[in-house]
Homo-oligomer: A and B are copies of this chain.
Amino acid sequence: MTHKAKKVVIITEKLILDQVLKIVEAAGATGYTVTSAGGKGSRNVRSEARTTVVEAFSNVKIEVIVGDATAAERIATEVADTCFGNYSGVTYLQDVEILRPHKFTRTS
């Protein structure tokens, strides 16, 4: 049997990873996953070579699973408001089904 939960995905510059993770942890998330990523956003200069942009891998993709949509939306909004004025980034939510809901709730 599975339980519904929300995943917040944040893709942004590696430079501000620590700042983003502080927001994620302050919101009560019990864990997160980070992968190295390259890419192009709506703000990138068009003339830049495609492979150069991708191969720099100067972005990070952060994934956080939280129990409910409200917490997920709060993290996404706070990261966007705090960080995406000065740094490029994108954030979105996805539905997920988890096996053990207690792992995603802080018990302190």
Contacts and interface: CB of A to CB of B under 8 A. Distances in A.
Ordered nearest first, which 5 A-B pairs have the shortest CB separation?
A33-B39, A30-B42, A93-B97, A31-B41, A92-B96
Contacts of A35: 35-38, 61
A2 interface: yes
A103 B90 CA distance: 8
Copy count, this protein chain: 3
Given A93-B2, A95-B95, A104 B38 contact: no
Interface residues of A, number: 47
Most buried by B among A35, A37, A38: A35
A31 B38 contact: no
A42 B103 contact: yes
Interface of A: 2, 5, 7, 9, 11, 17-18, 21-22, 30-42, 44, 50-51, 54, 57, 59, 61, 65, 73, 76-77, 80, 90-100, 103-104
Given A2-B76, A5-B92, A21-B50, 5 more contacts: A21-B54, A31-B90, A33-B61, A76-B99, A90-B103
